[in-house]
Chains A and B, each alone.
Chain A
Amino acid sequence: MTHDDPHQVLGIPPEAGDEEIRAAYLRKVKEYPPDRAPHDFEKVRDAYEILRDPRRRARRLLLSTDPKQPLTSLLEGRVSERRFPGPEPWLAILREPKP
């Protein structure tokens, strides 16, 4: 587990509510039991501690955004979409003269 953001640690969206947070926590604890993955379990527990308190969660919601964050960070962890343009753009490459 490499994330630090508690929402990412628990694998839930930022708008997740109490029930969703608890369900995600229980799921992750099963995934990373304390006896087998103590480090990851600690991360999961810390993330849950942060998110379970609605006031702390609200404070995070308001203040976690960094307006000065580099724009490049928007691409972090982003997986590009793989679109299906049909055969034509592929065939166009074959019609191109060989370089």
Chain B
Amino acid sequence: MSQNHAPGRGNSSQPTRFEAPPAEVHSQERERVAQLIALNQSGRALDFAKDVHKRCRSAASETLLLDTYGVRFASLVERNLDREAAALMDLVRERYPASRERLREWNAALAARHGDLSALLEPLNDPSLPVEKQAAIAAKVRRDVLDLRALAECRTLAPEHPVRAAAAALYRAFEAVTRGPVADAELALPEVSRSSPLAPWKMLVRAIAAYYRRDDALCEKCLTAVEPDSAAARLAPPLRALMHPRQTLTPAAAALVNQVGGNLDSLLAILKRLDSALERRNQPLILQEAANAVSACRQADPGLLERLKQHIAVRGMIAEAKAEKVASAMGGPALRNAYFWRLFARGLEEISRNPMAIAHSCSVWEEFRKHAVHEGWFPAKGPEAATLYLHIADQLGRLGPDALHGVRGNFERLFDGHADYYRGQPSEIRALMSSRSNLDLYFLSPHAVLERACEADPCAENFQRWLRHAEEASPATCDLVAERWAAALPNDIPPLLRLMQSAEKRNALQKAFKLMERAEQIDGLNTEVRRARMRLLVSLAVRHLREKKPKLAEKELRQIEALPQARQGDVPAFVAALRFVWCLLRDARQEAASAHAEAVRFLGDGVTAQLLFLEVERWCRRQFSALGKAPPPTVPLFAAFGRVCVLAEDMGLTLETIEAMPAQLMKELSAPKVSANPRALAALGEVAMQQDYFPLAYTIAGAGLAQGAESQARFLLLRARSLPPWEEDRRSSCLAAASELARRQHDSDLLKRIGEWRDELLGWLDVPRQAQAVGAEEIGRVVQREIKERKFPASRPDFQDDEDCQCPACRAERGDLPPELMEMMDRLGPDALAQAMAEMLGAGGKKKRGRPKPPLDNMDLPF
């Protein structure tokens, strides 16, 4: 705008002769100016107003222009462009001297901006100040006064002036709510009325208090009540950002959000990027994002920092990032407390592909145990510690004994007690580090680990597991384990039975008997204990009968006869057989004949009695039977011998089939629709298996399967066991069906036997460790197939291309060595191998007790 057009220079209401009359300001022009101002485009609004004034040159256009100057001035002041605001004021003063009053207000606003509110507030001291002027000042205070403290301390107004008093109260409240929790009374603020220009501050203070009380709804409600054009509204966006994170904040607002710490969104975004980098195993990106994550976490949630570092360290390890670099990126290593060691151990288990890694995970679990106990997670002894030891044992179970031996050797040479992981740790963490000199590698010994588990939590399950391990890994320690079990849990029967059986096997019958009596005191009704008493008394009697000591045997026989179980089933016949031998020892033939007659009466069949008496005589080492010729059979042989087998099983008697008996048994059992006692058939099948009569066992299984559903699981197992090695598919399907049936019948004994047999065969036959799941239809199909398949599969499948069958049976028949021994022979030569085998089979070295075994010749070797 040029000076020529400035109406302020003359009387704008009286145009000169050469000037055109003033034009009207159109309403559209006013609207356009207002629109640009609303759009925060005060510069363009001012240019437009200048153009309007240039065209109109009227008082109305000048007013519009000066108003627009005022908006432009306010805009510059708000943006801290004070120099530009002052220059604009000078320009207006020069061009429009009549606008003095307006300039004074602007000046006051600029001073107020710098904390000098006297110019703005001074008119309020004038009691005659028009109401509209008062309202204009109030509006400026509401809109422009940002410094409550300056307002509260402004000496222009008396201390009791409502505006000053309200400002003082508000500043105190504002300080209080930003420094700590406040009581409701402090937020009442009666000094600030609803109509006060400082009322928006009151709502802001309440909003801040509500935010800290986690009442976000109230906070939002209070913020809504803050007038948007008021000075207090400047703090609404950061307060909203604290509740609902958003991206665009001014630097000071972002700093506030960080200091108050409400925003986890930026940390979440960084963690997403770090997760992605870890997934892709991109080391540079992992390091970069790890550093960002730690920094963001420190800002947003310092309480989470240590845990985050621990997770980053372990995820980095899984992603194969260099541990030192990850630690360096995080500004130091993660804290190695119990939480870390547990996470680390689990991480190692995830990636453990070789024996050393598995062993490493066990060593880390030991570190976890130490720290967990120290930090009070659980006591040193208790179920938690025991569970940990059992878990370590599980891990060691993944290693074979050879691998474990090798790993232990490596650990003894190389393991330093995780010294690297303790570097840079606080002293209380380092205090738990094991020094090289006092390392205990117990965690690499399943025996030691299970022993600790039993010490920590002496329960039957734990001892059972230790005992099972001892049975598999070092049978010589079984008795030791059973003794520890019996000492820890004196009322448990299983360890006593285990010790009793062990003594029985060693023929230490008196010791076995004492153990049985101990078990009897604990639970006299226990079936196994009752059976054990009978069996042990029989064994003692047989021993004395063998030693030809009838007086001693008499004592046991009387005890046997007094037992209730001696009067059940076929047992009286068995007792009569013992009494028969005892009578013969005393040469009491009449009494012997009575005993025999009594047995025949009990059994109801002369052939069964004949078979039983023959076996008992043989057991008692009587060379010649006194029975004479067998009576003509009245029942099938399988039924008679089956009953004897049941008795033998119960009494611990080992049977021997008599020549030609298998052929007769097979003939009888191959007949259609054989009816037999399943228990007797099962016992007969066991005898056939013990004596390697596989075709007989096969036939018995078929006959047993045809007897009905009750015992089909047992006979399916017998069929699986009796099949030749090349019948892998049939064996697997029989086993699977047997397992499923046993599971459905809750027959835990049978399931255990299936498992044991499967484990036994794993080493040399292709038997799956877990039985495949089969349905009822499949079971029925397998049973029907096995009933129909009566003929033992004696012939092997044909092998094409002259390829020999590699199953152990075919290899043995061809005279081939097992593959492992072939390999040894290639390496060591046949002589060294034969010598080694001879030593292993007991022909080498000196025997401490008993007669020395003769040296083996080549024919003694089992191949």
Residue from B79, B307, B350 in contact with A97 in the complex, judged by beta carbons closer than 8 Å: B79
User: Are A55 and B387 in contact, CB atoms less than 8 angstroms apart?
Assistant: yes
User: Are A74 and B235 in contact, CB atoms less than 8 angstroms apart?
Assistant: no
B88 at the interface (CB under 8 A from A): no
User: Are A54 and B377 in contact, CB atoms less than 8 angstroms apart?
Assistant: no
A62 CA / B369 CA spacing, docked (Å): 10
User: Are A71 and B252 in contact, CB atoms less than 8 angstroms apart?
Assistant: no
User: Are B378 and A61 in contact, CB atoms less than 8 angstroms apart?
Assistant: yes
A83 CA / B208 CA spacing, docked (Å): 12
Residue from A15, A61, A94 in contact with B376 in the complex, judged by beta carbons closer than 8 Å: A15
Nearest residue (CB) in A for B145 is A94
Within 8 A of A (CB), among B136-172: 146-147
Please indicate the chain A residues that have their CB under 8 angstroms from the CB of B274 in the complex. 71
User: Are B263 and A80 in contact, CB atoms less than 8 angstroms apart?
Assistant: yes
Known: A68-B315, A80-B262. A85 touches B79 (CB 8 A): no
Please indicate the chain A residues that have their CB under 8 angstroms from the CB of B252 in the complex. 89, 92-93, 95-96
User: Are B377 and A82 in contact, CB atoms less than 8 angstroms apart?
Assistant: no
Contact with A along B344-361 (1 / 0, CB 8 A): 101100100000000000
Known: A58-B378, A98-B79. A71 touches B179 (CB 8 A): no
Please indicate the chain B residues that have their CB under 8 angstroms from the CB of A70 in the complex. 271, 275
Distance from B211 Cβ to chain A, minimum over Cβ atoms (Å) = 7
Residue from A69, A75, A99 in contact with B264 in the complex, judged by beta carbons closer than 8 Å: A75
Known: A75-B264, A90-B235. A82 touches B211 (CB 8 A): yes
Residue from A61, A66, A72, A98 in contact with B272 in the complex, judged by beta carbons closer than 8 Å: A72
Please indicate the chain A residues that have their CB under 8 angstroms from the CB of B384 in the complex. 54, 57-58, 61
Please indicate the chain B residues that have their CB under 8 angstroms from the CB of A84 in the complex. 178-180, 212, 260
Residue from B208, B275, B383 in contact with A58 in the complex, judged by beta carbons closer than 8 Å: B383
The interface stretch among B298-306, B405-413, B540-548, B821-829 is B298-306
A84 CA / B268 CA spacing, docked (Å): 23
Residue from B179, B264, B346, B347 in contact with A87 in the complex, judged by beta carbons closer than 8 Å: B179
Nearest residue (CB) in A for B242 is A82
Please indicate the chain A residues that have their CB under 8 angstroms from the CB of B242 in the complex. 82
Distance from B25 Cβ to chain A, minimum over Cβ atoms (Å) = 29
A65 at the interface (CB under 8 A from B): yes
B251 at the interface (CB under 8 A from A): yes
User: Are A71 and B311 in contact, CB atoms less than 8 angstroms apart?
Assistant: yes
Known: A61-B384, A84-B180, A87-B178. A97 touches B377 (CB 8 A): no
A90 CA / B242 CA spacing, docked (Å): 12
Please indicate the chain A residues that have their CB under 8 angstroms from the CB of B146 in the complex. 94-95
**A residues contacting the other copy or chain, number (CB 8 A):** 40
Please indicate the chain B residues that have their CB under 8 angstroms from the CB of A55 in the complex. 383, 386-387, 457
Nearest residue (CB) in A for B80 is A97
User: Are B78 and A83 in contact, CB atoms less than 8 angstroms apart?
Assistant: no
User: Are A67 and B383 in contact, CB atoms less than 8 angstroms apart?
Assistant: no
B253 at the interface (CB under 8 A from A): yes
Within 8 A of B (CB), among A19-75: 54-55, 57-59, 61-63, 65-72, 74-75
Residue from B78, B179, B315 in contact with A98 in the complex, judged by beta carbons closer than 8 Å: B78
A78 at the interface (CB under 8 A from B): yes
Distance from A19 Cβ to chain B, minimum over Cβ atoms (Å) = 15
Within 8 A of A (CB), among B230-271: 231, 234-235, 238, 242, 250-253, 255-256, 259-264, 267-268, 271
User: Are A99 and B300 in contact, CB atoms less than 8 angstroms apart?
Assistant: no
Residue from B174, B267, B350 in contact with A68 in the complex, judged by beta carbons closer than 8 Å: B350
User: Are A58 and B235 in contact, CB atoms less than 8 angstroms apart?
Assistant: no
User: Are B315 and A71 in contact, CB atoms less than 8 angstroms apart?
Assistant: yes
A63 CA / B365 CA spacing, docked (Å): 11
User: Are A82 and B260 in contact, CB atoms less than 8 angstroms apart?
Assistant: yes
User: Are A78 and B264 in contact, CB atoms less than 8 angstroms apart?
Assistant: yes
Distance from A60 Cβ to chain B, minimum over Cβ atoms (Å) = 9
A79 CA / B263 CA spacing, docked (Å): 10
Nearest residue (CB) in B for A15 is B377
Known: A81-B303, A84-B178. A74 touches B388 (CB 8 A): no
Given A55-B383, A58-B387, A80-B301, 6 new contacts (CB under 8 A): A67-B343, A67-B350, A81-B303, A83-B259, A95-B252, A98-B78
13 residue pairs of the A-B complex, CB under 8 angstroms, read: A55-B383, A57-B384, A67-B347, A71-B293, A71-B315, A74-B307, A80-B261, A84-B178, A87-B178, A89-B252, A90-B178, A95-B146, A98-B79
